[in-house]
Amino acid sequence: MPQFNDREADLLEKLSFIIPLPTPMQNRVKEESLVEVFERKKLLLSPGETARRVYFIRSGFLRAYFIDDSGNECTTWFTGKGDLMTSVYSFFSQQPANEYIEVLQDCKLQSLTWLELNAYYADFREGNLLGRIVTQKYFILSEERAILLRTRSPEHRYDLLLRNHPEIEQQTTQQNIASYLGISRETLSRIRRKKNRMCHQTQNH
Protein backbone atom coordinates (compact mmCIF):
# COMPACT_ATOMS: atom_id res chain seq x y z
CA MET A 1 0.00 0.00 0.00
CA PRO A 2 1.42 3.42 -0.95
CA GLN A 3 2.67 5.63 1.86
CA PHE A 4 2.28 9.41 1.75
CA ASN A 5 4.43 11.22 4.28
CA ASP A 6 4.77 14.71 2.81
CA ARG A 7 2.00 17.24 3.30
CA GLU A 8 -0.58 16.62 0.64
CA ALA A 9 -2.00 19.33 -1.57
CA ASP A 10 -5.51 20.43 -0.67
CA LEU A 11 -8.14 21.03 -3.36
CA LEU A 12 -10.17 23.64 -1.47
CA GLU A 13 -7.01 25.46 -0.45
CA LYS A 14 -5.91 25.55 -4.09
CA LEU A 15 -9.29 26.77 -5.35
CA SER A 16 -9.69 29.35 -2.58
CA PHE A 17 -6.28 30.78 -3.48
CA ILE A 18 -7.65 31.54 -6.95
CA ILE A 19 -10.94 33.01 -5.71
CA PRO A 20 -12.66 32.99 -2.28
CA LEU A 21 -15.40 30.36 -2.26
CA PRO A 22 -18.70 30.63 -0.35
CA THR A 23 -19.17 28.18 2.51
CA PRO A 24 -22.03 26.26 0.82
CA MET A 25 -19.83 25.58 -2.21
CA GLN A 26 -16.92 24.51 -0.01
CA ASN A 27 -19.21 22.08 1.80
CA ARG A 28 -20.47 20.65 -1.50
CA VAL A 29 -16.92 20.06 -2.71
CA LYS A 30 -16.03 18.32 0.57
CA GLU A 31 -19.09 16.09 0.38
CA GLU A 32 -19.01 15.26 -3.33
CA SER A 33 -15.31 14.98 -4.18
CA LEU A 34 -13.95 11.44 -4.25
CA VAL A 35 -10.54 10.71 -2.73
CA GLU A 36 -8.77 7.60 -4.08
CA VAL A 37 -5.31 6.06 -3.93
CA PHE A 38 -3.76 4.54 -7.07
CA GLU A 39 -0.53 2.61 -7.48
CA ARG A 40 2.15 3.16 -10.10
CA LYS A 41 1.31 2.00 -13.66
CA LYS A 42 -2.44 2.27 -13.12
CA LEU A 43 -4.30 3.59 -16.17
CA LEU A 44 -6.98 6.09 -15.20
CA LEU A 45 -8.16 6.43 -18.80
CA SER A 46 -7.67 4.62 -22.10
CA PRO A 47 -8.64 5.49 -25.69
CA GLY A 48 -12.31 4.79 -26.33
CA GLU A 49 -13.29 5.50 -22.73
CA THR A 50 -14.98 8.77 -21.79
CA ALA A 51 -13.33 10.90 -19.11
CA ARG A 52 -15.98 11.18 -16.41
CA ARG A 53 -13.78 12.85 -13.77
CA VAL A 54 -11.28 15.68 -13.41
CA TYR A 55 -8.53 14.77 -10.95
CA PHE A 56 -6.75 16.99 -8.45
CA ILE A 57 -3.37 15.53 -7.46
CA ARG A 58 -2.99 15.55 -3.70
CA SER A 59 0.27 13.60 -4.09
CA GLY A 60 2.00 11.63 -6.83
CA PHE A 61 2.81 12.13 -10.50
CA LEU A 62 0.84 11.41 -13.72
CA ARG A 63 1.24 11.66 -17.45
CA ALA A 64 -1.05 11.74 -20.48
CA TYR A 65 0.05 10.13 -23.74
CA PHE A 66 -1.19 8.75 -27.05
CA ILE A 67 0.20 6.13 -29.42
CA ASP A 68 1.10 7.34 -32.91
CA ASP A 69 0.71 5.49 -36.21
CA SER A 70 4.15 3.91 -35.76
CA GLY A 71 3.24 2.48 -32.36
CA ASN A 72 5.31 5.00 -30.38
CA GLU A 73 4.10 6.47 -27.08
CA CYS A 74 3.95 10.27 -27.29
CA THR A 75 3.71 12.01 -23.91
CA THR A 76 1.64 15.19 -23.98
CA TRP A 77 1.45 16.20 -20.29
CA PHE A 78 3.16 15.62 -16.97
CA THR A 79 1.26 16.72 -13.86
CA GLY A 80 2.24 16.60 -10.19
CA LYS A 81 1.07 17.55 -6.74
CA GLY A 82 -1.33 20.47 -6.59
CA ASP A 83 -2.32 20.33 -10.26
CA LEU A 84 -5.27 19.00 -12.28
CA MET A 85 -5.40 16.15 -14.78
CA THR A 86 -8.04 14.97 -17.21
CA SER A 87 -8.45 14.39 -20.92
CA VAL A 88 -9.61 17.89 -21.77
CA TYR A 89 -11.42 17.04 -25.02
CA SER A 90 -13.10 13.93 -23.64
CA PHE A 91 -14.10 15.46 -20.30
CA PHE A 92 -15.65 18.66 -21.63
CA SER A 93 -17.31 17.07 -24.67
CA GLN A 94 -18.19 13.80 -22.88
CA GLN A 95 -16.95 11.94 -25.96
CA PRO A 96 -14.50 8.99 -26.06
CA ALA A 97 -10.87 9.89 -25.39
CA ASN A 98 -7.94 9.42 -27.77
CA GLU A 99 -5.32 9.24 -25.04
CA TYR A 100 -4.16 7.40 -21.95
CA ILE A 101 -3.74 8.82 -18.45
CA GLU A 102 -1.15 6.84 -16.49
CA VAL A 103 -0.02 6.94 -12.86
CA LEU A 104 3.78 7.30 -12.84
CA GLN A 105 4.16 7.38 -9.06
CA ASP A 106 1.82 6.13 -6.34
CA CYS A 107 -0.73 8.86 -5.91
CA LYS A 108 -3.70 10.14 -3.96
CA LEU A 109 -6.25 11.87 -6.15
CA GLN A 110 -9.35 13.91 -5.38
CA SER A 111 -11.86 14.06 -8.20
CA LEU A 112 -15.16 15.57 -9.30
CA THR A 113 -17.47 14.43 -12.07
CA TRP A 114 -18.53 16.41 -15.11
CA LEU A 115 -22.07 16.66 -13.70
CA GLU A 116 -20.85 17.90 -10.30
CA LEU A 117 -18.61 20.50 -11.92
CA ASN A 118 -21.40 21.84 -14.11
CA ALA A 119 -23.74 21.99 -11.12
CA TYR A 120 -21.23 24.30 -9.40
CA TYR A 121 -21.23 26.50 -12.49
CA ALA A 122 -25.02 26.69 -12.39
CA ASP A 123 -25.47 27.10 -8.63
CA PHE A 124 -22.62 29.45 -7.68
CA ARG A 125 -21.44 32.64 -9.33
CA GLU A 126 -17.97 31.94 -7.92
CA GLY A 127 -18.01 28.45 -9.45
CA ASN A 128 -18.63 29.89 -12.89
CA LEU A 129 -15.83 32.43 -12.51
CA LEU A 130 -13.46 29.79 -11.12
CA GLY A 131 -14.17 27.47 -14.04
CA ARG A 132 -13.42 30.24 -16.53
CA ILE A 133 -10.13 31.15 -14.83
CA VAL A 134 -8.93 27.54 -14.67
CA THR A 135 -9.98 26.81 -18.26
CA GLN A 136 -8.14 29.91 -19.50
CA LYS A 137 -5.01 28.76 -17.66
CA TYR A 138 -4.98 25.41 -19.44
CA PHE A 139 -5.71 26.93 -22.84
CA ILE A 140 -2.68 29.18 -22.32
CA LEU A 141 -0.47 26.27 -21.21
CA SER A 142 -1.56 24.22 -24.21
CA GLU A 143 -0.75 27.04 -26.63
CA GLU A 144 2.60 27.71 -24.95
CA ARG A 145 3.55 24.05 -25.31
CA ALA A 146 2.55 23.99 -29.00
CA ILE A 147 4.67 27.09 -29.69
CA LEU A 148 7.54 25.74 -27.60
CA LEU A 149 7.76 22.53 -29.62
CA ARG A 150 7.86 24.48 -32.87
CA THR A 151 10.16 27.38 -32.03
CA ARG A 152 12.55 26.43 -29.23
CA SER A 153 15.62 24.23 -29.29
CA PRO A 154 15.56 20.82 -27.59
CA GLU A 155 18.01 22.19 -24.98
CA HIS A 156 15.64 25.04 -24.14
CA ARG A 157 12.65 22.66 -23.92
CA TYR A 158 14.60 20.37 -21.57
CA ASP A 159 15.64 23.28 -19.32
CA LEU A 160 12.05 24.47 -19.11
CA LEU A 161 10.84 20.98 -18.22
CA LEU A 162 13.40 20.78 -15.40
CA ARG A 163 12.30 24.19 -14.17
CA ASN A 164 8.64 23.13 -14.05
CA HIS A 165 9.33 19.60 -12.72
CA PRO A 166 12.70 19.63 -10.89
CA GLU A 167 12.42 15.94 -9.89
CA ILE A 168 11.30 14.68 -13.31
CA GLU A 169 14.42 12.50 -13.72
CA GLN A 170 13.38 10.48 -10.66
CA GLN A 171 9.68 10.47 -11.49
CA THR A 172 9.64 8.89 -14.93
CA THR A 173 11.76 7.28 -17.65
CA GLN A 174 14.11 8.94 -20.11
CA GLN A 175 11.95 7.61 -22.92
CA ASN A 176 8.87 9.39 -21.54
CA ILE A 177 10.83 12.62 -21.14
CA ALA A 178 12.18 12.40 -24.69
CA SER A 179 8.72 11.79 -26.13
CA TYR A 180 7.35 14.81 -24.22
CA LEU A 181 10.15 16.99 -25.62
CA GLY A 182 9.54 15.70 -29.14
CA ILE A 183 13.07 14.31 -29.52
CA SER A 184 14.75 10.91 -29.64
CA ARG A 185 16.16 9.27 -26.54
CA GLU A 186 19.63 9.56 -28.08
CA THR A 187 19.24 13.32 -28.49
CA LEU A 188 18.12 13.59 -24.88
CA SER A 189 21.18 11.63 -23.76
CA ARG A 190 23.46 14.04 -25.65
CA ILE A 191 21.73 17.05 -24.06
CA ARG A 192 22.07 15.55 -20.59
CA ARG A 193 25.77 14.73 -21.10
CA LYS A 194 26.45 18.26 -22.32
CA LYS A 195 24.57 19.73 -19.36
CA ASN A 196 26.49 17.52 -16.90
CA ARG A 197 29.84 18.54 -18.43
CA MET A 198 28.96 22.21 -18.12
CA CYS A 199 27.94 21.70 -14.46
CA HIS A 200 31.23 19.95 -13.69
CA GLN A 201 33.24 22.68 -15.41
CA THR A 202 31.38 25.35 -13.44
CA GLN A 203 31.99 23.50 -10.17
CA ASN A 204 35.72 23.08 -10.93
CA HIS A 205 36.10 26.80 -11.56
Q: Is 190 exposed, middle or buried (0-12, 13-18, 19+ CB in 10 A)?
A: middle
C-alpha 21: how far from chain center: 24
Asked whether the beta carbons of 17 and 133 are under 8 A apart, the reply is no
Q: How far apart are CA 38 and CA 103, in angstroms?
A: 7
* pLDDT the model gives residue 5: 52
The predicted-structure confidence for 28-50, as pLDDT tens digits, reads as follows 999 999 999 999 999 999 999 99
From residue 195, alpha-carbon distances to 28, 109, 185, 198, 201 in Å are: 48, 34, 15, 5, 10
Residues pairing with 61 in the sheet: 80, 105
Contacts of residue 138, Cβ cutoff 8 Å, sequence gap at least 6: 84, 88
Would you tell me how many other CB atoms lie within 10 Å of the CB of residue 194?
A: 11
The predicted-structure confidence for 148-189, as pLDDT tens digits, reads as follows 778 888 999 999 899 889 999 999 999 999 999 999 999 999
* pLDDT the model gives residue 202: 61
The predicted-structure confidence for 98-146, as pLDDT tens digits, reads as follows 999 999 999 999 999 999 999 999 999 999 999 889 888 888 888 888 8
